[in-house]
Structure 1
Amino acid sequence: MQKDKKLLMVFYGDDFTGSTDALEFMARAGAKTMLFMEPPSVELLSQYQNLDAIGVAGLTRSMIPEEMRRTLKEDFEKIALLNPRHVHYKVCSTFDSSSEIGNIGVAIKEGFKQFKNRFVPILIAAPNLGRYMAFGNLFAQMGIGSDGEIFRIDQHPSMSRHPVTPATEGDLRDQLALQCDFSSGLINLLDLELSLEQLKDKLKQISKENKIVFFDGLYERQMKILGELLEESVEYDKSLFTIGSSGVGKALGDYWQQKGKLNECKNWKALKENKAVLVLSGSASPVTADQIEYALKMGFAEVLVEPEFLEKNLEDFIIKYSDKIIQFLKKDISVIFHTSKGSNDKRLGATKEITNRLGWDASRTRKELPAKFGKILGQTALRVLSEVMLERLIIAGGDTSSYTARELGINAVEMIAPLYKGAPLCKAFAMDSPINNMEINLKGGQVGGKAYFVELQKGKIENQIKNYE
């Protein structure tokens, strides 16, 4: 990074798949961006030339509040040393969180302490991902990058039944009130029809009366307006701390392009067919379940993670699973190694019985399971990749993705091609690991149509042009 060049943004993802979602929007906007696993030092960044933005793939979505406080205090202090114009705490576009796990209120409090802004904007809307805010209520399409039906978030077939953070409120102001005691204001859809000067005055008034300001967003054309509001909210010599989905990067990116600070990137690596791919799935989403079923019908093989590994010798399971996977891959058969096939998978009930026997309460279960599943997925994959050379690896599932990536030894990733909205193809940097320089794709549970895994193996993304024109 050039010494005299100020970073436009540092985004901090609460999980890995969400972080690559944010990475995509910044890179597509034309910002030279790298995603790191830990906040980099000024000295480390000096090794990279002309960076406009960086990201940090955090773990806070699966943390309890006290652990979040300690982690964010330390990481925000490191980010502040980089002095970016914007700091974006990236959350899922379905606002996955609760008072017990992934508490967004904790992130807001730590953001206030470190960056000392007058108010914290919250922008969750991302119309191009099928995420809409109307009068404070969040609506989400069933499946990102699909033509699924749109539901209010507390009635969404998947998110209302999320195994860790089920959506119980439609109005995000009510959802956030369960996690912190800050008052929340709203720039609503009608406000977005005002002139820009009227809108700025309205935001100024609302932010005087409330420490939190949510922003509605329904149409793509509104993102540029929201980007300008965020840019105009930066206080002198302070980084603006914002909570939001990748819609934050989209909004600011659109505005920066309009102002000539960035030029949209359109030249990307062509996707090639692979003889076989390996999928590591820790997702219980019905969207991912449909993708697994379709892939199996199209010739993929599956290897199931048995919950019994939680109370037995982990190494025995890693050897057993990796041997099975290696046998398939050596025959050029793609493999899906998964912890669940949808929310009705019997293994979910078996897992609950085991955690009860282990004496884990609900809090410990929510904290431990993503790490345990991430470990067996990542360690098994490492053993496989030490025996079989692959070009492309796919990781599905937000809660486990950060742990899986760390088990794989990933230090950083860089986007090399857009595939589906919110799930780009990346290059992995992982020194002394077989995954170094591999193509890696990370997707949240809600991302993609039923042919997702098959299309990635064949190198044919049917909706790629439509999605990104």
Structure 2
Amino acid sequence: MSAPETLITYYGDDLTGSTDALEALSSRGVPTVLFTAIPDHEQLARFAACRAIGLAGTSRSESPAWMREHLTPALSWLRERHAGLCHYKTCSTFDSAPETGSIGCALEIGREVFGQACVPIVVGVPQMKRYTAFGHLFAAYRGDVYRIDRHPVMSRHPVTPMREADLRRHLADQTTLDIGLADLASLAAEDIDQRVDDWQRRHQALLYDVIDEATQASVGHQLWRTRQAGGSYVVGSSGVEYALIPEWRSQGLIGPPPSFADPGSVERIAVVSGSCSETTARQIHWAKDHGFQTIAVDAARLADPATGKAARDEALQRGLAALKAGESVILHTALGPDAADPALNTEQARHSIGRRLGEILRELVIAEGLTRVVVAGGDTSSHAIEQLGIHALTTRLPLPETPGSPLCTAYSDDARFDGLEIAFKGGQIGSDSYFATIRDGGAQRP
């Protein structure tokens, strides 16, 4: 029996963004595997039944030079999977900069790899309260919706603050590609197919508005209708996957959403967090008030080659003490953007902090036999996972109330990590009780 058709492949610009797409696909009837690096033949064959293949990257925290060296072969490998679409997965807040995580650079690289005249861009995700209207990005925060350049968190991001809501203007600082706009009014027009065809002839990239599930479905139809033979390249958030699901279902390409077995609760979990987000800070404070032990880790010492090992070992011993006392523990390097040290906004510092936190988590799992853990922070997750020997992830439990950071099952050649349940939480994702929700197997806390 031949393997099922691969519908989509994707490259996530960080790990939490990659698991966001993993959840969007797998929870809606598209069996999906996320690899942490290009797999070997045996690793790939293990997931032959999957119809979506992801590759988790780190480009959100990397330079354009790094992207040209590493993203090009990754996208080339994904193109060889012969899927209908290949998606460069960005955060739904689209935060990026000319020298760090340049989405414009990713546009150019993928356009060249796929030999594509016009690259679609889809950013709005109503399911995550992210919206694009006439080219401008809006995002919710604590019940209110803000233009992204006035968003209380993203306008103050310590590495890539969003200072421009017009995404075409935002990208103009990162690429010279001419970017057109499929706006809300046009998406409702009867001749939208002809308009899209014309825009794609005239522009090198095309940004689609998405304000609700109706416009999202219209965009999904256009993405699938206009794909080129051999597969097309698309850039954007998990809004790409959410847009495609109804189109695939209407064409009978996928079945109904699957059910996921209850994973149950565990007595203890360990969390490492390099996130500087206010959202993560609230979650840490909530956890502290509800039985978690929280441990502050000096980020500057952790990043310094001269003191990093000692800082790691000190934090590890404190974490072990909390777990041995029967408590769940959170080791964190910041509590909100005001606590972030601007001096640590370098590529070397971010990578070092992520690796050290990953080393701490690895030793906690081994020493205490933990079966469920969390890593918070997009950059942190991408570099921490390298320390756990995990080569693939599948969805263990979606969290529909707070989509974007599901509980996953890890696959590793190391028996100590094979089958580990792990969640990677983006900075802006999750309710205040997120960490307890993971510990309790999906049960929501007030």
Q: How does 1:365-444 map to 2 (within 5 A)?
A: 365-419=345-399, 420-432=402-414, 434-444=416-426
Equivalent residue in structure 2 for 1:241, among 218, 223, 233: 233
User: Quick one: distance in 2 between partners of 1:221 and 1:423?
Assistant: 25
Q: How does 1:173-322 map to 2 (within 5 A)?
A: 173-195=168-190, 198-236=191-229, 238-306=230-298, 307-311=300-304, 312-322=306-316
Tell me the CA shift for residue 265 of structure 1.
1.9
Alignment root-mean-square deviation, CA: 1.7
Tell me the CA shift for residue 445 of structure 1.
0.7
1:84 aligns with 2:64: no
Identical-pair percentage: 34
Secondary structure of 2:235 counterpart: strand
Q: Contact conserved, 2:302 with 2:352, CA < 8 A, in 1?
A: no
Q: Contact conserved, 2:58 with 2:382, CA < 8 A, in 1?
A: yes
1:341 aligns with 2:341: no
Q: Contact conserved, 2:393 with 2:410, CA < 8 A, in 1?
A: yes
Q: Contact conserved, 1:29 with 1:257, CA < 8 A, in 2?
A: no
Tell me the CA shift for residue 223 of structure 1.
1.8
Structure 2 residue runs of 5 or longer lacking an equivalent are none
Secondary structure of 1:186 counterpart: strand
Tell me the CA shift for residue 32 of structure 1.
1.1
Q: Contact conserved, 1:62 with 1:366, CA < 8 A, in 2?
A: no
Matched residue, 2:155: 160
Amino acid at match of 2:143: G
Residues 225-269 of structure 1 show CA distances to partners (whole Å, capped at 9, x for unaligned) of 111100011122x21100010010111112111211112323112
Tell me the CA shift for residue 448 of structure 1.
1.3
Q: Contact conserved, 1:409 with 1:433, CA < 8 A, in 2?
A: no
Query: CA 1:320–1:459 in 2, change beyond 3 Å: closer, same or farther?
Result: same
Matched residue, 1:455: 437
Matched residue, 2:17: 18
User: Quick one: distance in 2 between partners of 1:322 and 1:232?
Assistant: 52
Tell me the CA shift for residue 162 of structure 1.
0.3
Q: Contact conserved, 2:373 with 2:422, CA < 8 A, in 1?
A: yes
Tell me the CA shift for residue 94 of structure 1.
0.4
Q: Contact conserved, 2:118 with 2:204, CA < 8 A, in 1?
A: yes
Tell me the CA shift for residue 366 of structure 1.
2.8
Tell me the CA shift for residue 458 of structure 1.
2.8
Tell me the CA shift for residue 41 of structure 1.
5.2
Amino acid at match of 2:168: R
Q: Contact conserved, 1:38 with 1:57, CA < 8 A, in 2?
A: yes
User: Quick one: distance in 2 between partners of 1:309 and 1:332?
Assistant: 26
Amino acid at match of 1:323: Q
Amino acid at match of 2:211: L
User: Quick one: distance in 1 between partners of 2:126 and 2:315?
Assistant: 40
Query: CA 1:389–1:47 in 2, change beyond 3 Å: closer, same or farther?
Result: closer
Q: How many residues were matched structurally?
A: 442
Residues 261-305 of structure 1 show CA distances to partners (whole Å, capped at 9, x for unaligned) of 112323112142221111111110101101101111112111222
Query: CA 1:4–1:266 in 2, change beyond 3 Å: closer, same or farther?
Result: closer
Tell me the CA shift for residue 47 of structure 1.
3.3
Query: CA 1:372–1:124 in 2, change beyond 3 Å: closer, same or farther?
Result: same
Q: Contact conserved, 2:10 with 2:78, CA < 8 A, in 1?
A: no
Q: Contact conserved, 2:119 with 2:234, CA < 8 A, in 1?
A: yes
Q: Contact conserved, 1:29 with 1:254, CA < 8 A, in 2?
A: no
Tell me the CA shift for residue 45 of structure 1.
2.5
User: Quick one: distance in 2 between partners of 1:367 and 1:90?
Assistant: 20
User: Quick one: distance in 2 between partners of 1:103 and 1:270?
Assistant: 39
Tell me the CA shift for residue 5 of structure 1.
3.7
Q: Contact conserved, 2:303 with 2:350, CA < 8 A, in 1?
A: no
User: Quick one: distance in 2 between partners of 1:279 and 1:425?
Assistant: 13
Q: How does 1:119-134 map to 2 (within 5 A)?
A: 119-134=118-133
Matched residue, 2:93: 94
User: Quick one: distance in 2 between partners of 1:434 and 1:322?
Assistant: 18
Query: CA 1:433–1:303 in 2, change beyond 3 Å: closer, same or farther?
Result: farther
Query: CA 1:323–1:406 in 2, change beyond 3 Å: closer, same or farther?
Result: same
User: Quick one: distance in 2 between partners of 1:164 and 1:434?
Assistant: 34
Q: Contact conserved, 2:358 with 2:385, CA < 8 A, in 1?
A: yes
Tell me the CA shift for residue 319 of structure 1.
2.1
User: Quick one: distance in 2 between partners of 1:41 and 1:202?
Assistant: 43
Q: Contact conserved, 1:41 with 1:78, CA < 8 A, in 2?
A: no
Runs of 4+ in 1 over 6 A off after TM superposition: none
User: Quick one: distance in 1 between partners of 2:302 and 2:121?
Assistant: 40
Query: CA 1:221–1:341 in 2, change beyond 3 Å: closer, same or farther?
Result: same
